[in-house]
Amino acid sequence: MADTFARPGPRPAPRWGRPVERLSRPIRVYLLLAWTWSRALAQYPASLLLMTLGTSLGAIAEVFAVFVVFRHAGALDGFSLAEGLLIAGLASLMFATADMLMGMVEGLGQHIRTGSLDVMLVRPVSPLIQIITDRFALRRLGRVIPAGVITGIALHHCDIDWTLGKILFLPVLLVSGVAIAAAIWLAGSCLQFFVIDAREAANSVTYGGQALTEYPLSIYGKGVVTAVTFAVPLAFVGWQPVLYLLDRPDPTGLPESLRFASPFVAVLACTAAALLWRLGLRRYRSTGS
Amino acid sequence: MRVYPAVYIRGLRRYSTYRAATIAGILTNSVFGCINAAVLIALFSVRPEINGYDMGDAVTQVFVCQALIATVAVMGPPLDLGERVRTGAVGVDLLRPVSLMGWWLAEDLGRATFSLVFRGTPTFLVGTVLFDLVLPKTLGHWALVLVSCALAAVIGFALRYLYELAGFWILDTRGIWAIVGMLGPVAAGMLLPLALYPPAVSGVLRALPWASTIQIPAEILLGKESLPGGSIAGGLALQAGWALGLLLLGAWITSVATRKVVVQGG
């Protein structure tokens, strides 16, 4: 093996060169690390199976609660059972996907406390990618799949006037929703750079946001809807896409053009979250342990 | 026997050091309380009464649940015991001349006490300020609620202790937690008050130990007819029965587990 070291290695690419390489490398590293962790966790197959099952049960239990509430109420704010399940399913699908791709970032405080963030900083891979793939939990697919199935069933039972525009715009809405949810996850976790024990406070926007978006937002009143449209853009995860699909006017009287704003909000939210992450990382001082 | 009170005090003090986490916890529990309360208010303004529950009862239960969630820890966090079984550190615990379960019970009750006073109580106060909660009228009734909360904490411990004991056989208890961490809250009446389920289902769930951690204390606070025997005493008896039964089961399984234990790792 000695001659491997003697041979001059490939020259490092210039920093701003090869744009394709610059974009594709993080994705490749992400996939590689995620795959490595998935294999590592699969070493306890009984646990992996139970955890996946448990995650699925959690997703099903949440939608079951929505089902029970709508069965008792008949309709909430003019939304029928099927439409209520569509909102819950779609929001759950977007949050679950974001959680799978990005959710591990909430372990940031733990990495700071134990000093493992220092180790990540000296490795030649973005620390963000290392954190979000750390103990990457394939079991979270157990949440995505039931959410997808429920969304599918609800779509089938809802009376939707499918136009070409809707078919083309639906994937855009889905991707934007996932991006917004992921940005909220990242931004919430960045709080831990400033207050290490704040993990639970972040839960009130991440898991709390997920709980909030499971029901037609209008039941919370206009104040809350305005806040989750303009401050923490949770309204674009689930609620606005469903209003668009069902051709409903916004029950709280917000402009209908908002439903087309998803992609722009997604870009804004991701930029803000990325800036917050940079800010936190710059401010970070190792605990020294 | 001074060791258990000492461990209890240490448990209490250990958790009192995480002040920011406690405040963050109160914030999160209050936010969740408000979200769940808003959903139930929307539901009960369409249907004023469901299986004996009205809007006030349901909103009160939401905040009892948020106040007790950390104390009884139905959703976790797990006891450190599980990780110690996995790493082999449990060997040190077994060397101590005290009972394994007694040690962990004392430590966890310390944690539970801190959490009930400094996290549960403020959360419940937030609820009373923001919503119209149904509260006990007499001091005696409040005292019974406190007893019920104490029993709920013991049952919460006993359940988690049993989950962790499974680690002696399957080594990694995260899988168990993934299942019970999801089903437990449903059966406890955390996801929705059990009264919202069909009476046959809620009858079965009420009799299971998980209900005794949230649903029964809530019904005791509300003074509901649906308690076993139709009275607060019946509810407390059910809780005491589960606390005793689960602790006895825990003690028995501990003795079986320690006879087969092979400490791993080095």
Q: What is the pLDDT of residues A174-224, one digit of tens each?
A: 999 999 999 999 998 898 888 877 777 888 888 888 889 999 999 998 888
- Predicted TM-score (pTM) of the model is 0.86
The number of beta carbons lying within 10 Å of the beta carbon of residue A46 is 12
Cα distance between residue A205 and residue B59, in whole Å: 21
**What pLDDT does A15 receive?**
56
**What pLDDT does B264 receive?**
56
The two structure tokens encoding residue A151: 């969304």
Task: Tell me if B39 and A215 make a contact (CB, 8 A cut-off).
Answer: yes
Given a cut of 90, whether residue B244 has pLDDT beyond it is yes
**How does pLDDT run across B247-263, given as a tens digit for each residue?**
999 999 999 988 876 66
- Kindly state whether residue A27 falls inside one of the protein's structural domains: no
Looking at chain A, which residue has its C-alpha nearest residue B190? Answer: A65
Q: What's the whole-number mean pLDDT along residues B137-144?
A: 95
Looking at chain A, which residue has its C-alpha nearest residue B175? Answer: A47
- Cβ under 8 Å to A: B residues 193-252: 196-197
Task: Tell me if B24 and A219 make a contact (CB, 8 A cut-off).
Answer: no
Mutate which of B16, B46, B163 to disrupt the A interface (most A C-beta within 10 Å)? B46
Task: Tell me if B170 and A62 make a contact (CB, 8 A cut-off).
Answer: no
What are the C-alpha distances in Å from B50 to residues B40, B53, B197? 11, 5, 9
**What pLDDT does A252 receive?**
86
Interface pTM, i.e. ipTM: 0.85
The number of beta carbons lying within 10 Å of the beta carbon of residue B122 is 18
Task: Tell me if B21 and A199 make a contact (CB, 8 A cut-off).
Answer: yes
The number of beta carbons lying within 10 Å of the beta carbon of residue A208 is 21
Contact present, B259 and B81 (Cβ < 8 Å): no
**How does pLDDT run across A72-131, given as a tens digit for each residue?**
998 888 899 999 999 999 999 999 999 899 888 888 888 888 888 888 998 888 889 899
Residue percentage of chain B with pLDDT more than 70: 97
* Chain centroid, CA B166 distance in Å: 19
Q: Which domain holds residue A180?
A: 45-283
How would residue A289 be classed by pLDDT, with cut points 50, 70 and 90?
low
B43: closest CA among A81, A210, A187?
A81
Q: In angstroms, what is the C-alpha Rg of chain B?
A: 19
Given a cut of 60, whether residue A12 has pLDDT beyond it is no
Number of domains chain A contains? 1
- Kindly state whether residue A132 falls inside one of the protein's structural domains: yes
Q: Taking CB atoms and an 8 Å cutoff, what residues of chain A touch B172? A: 44, 46-47
Lowest-pLDDT range of A34-38, B13-17, B69-73, B258-262: B258-262
How would residue B96 be classed by pLDDT, with cut points 50, 70 and 90?
confident
How would residue B88 be classed by pLDDT, with cut points 50, 70 and 90?
confident
Helices marked H in chain A — which ranges?
2-6, 19-41, 45-73, 81-102, 108-114, 116-122, 127-133, 141-157, 164-194, 199-212, 222-230, 239-246, 262-283
Task: Tell me if A47 and B21 make a contact (CB, 8 A cut-off).
Answer: no
> How close, in Å, is residue B173 to chain A by CA atoms?
7
Task: Tell me if A204 and B28 make a contact (CB, 8 A cut-off).
Answer: yes
Q: Nearest by CB to B38, which of A51, A73, A220?
A: A220
Q: Taking CB atoms and an 8 Å cutoff, what residues of chain A touch B195? A: none
Given a cut of 70, whether residue A67 has pLDDT beyond it is yes
Contact present, A109 and A196 (Cβ < 8 Å): yes
- Kindly state whether residue A109 falls inside one of the protein's structural domains: yes
Using omega within 30 degrees of 0 as the cis cutoff, is the peptide bond preceding A127 cis? no
**How does pLDDT run across B162-175, given as a tens digit for each residue?**
999 888 887 777 77
Residue percentage of chain A with pLDDT more than 70: 93
Domain spans in chain B, listed from the N-terminal domain onward: 3-260
Backbone angles phi, psi at B53, to 5 degrees: -100, 135
B95: closest CA among B234, B209, B249, B263?
B263
Given a cut of 80, whether residue A261 has pLDDT beyond it is yes
Given a cut of 90, whether residue A3 has pLDDT beyond it is no
Q: Nearest by CB to B172, which of A47, A53, A198?
A: A47
- The answer to whether B6 contacts chain A (CB < 8 Å) is no
- Kindly state whether residue A211 falls inside one of the protein's structural domains: yes
> How close, in Å, is residue B71 to chain A by CA atoms?
15
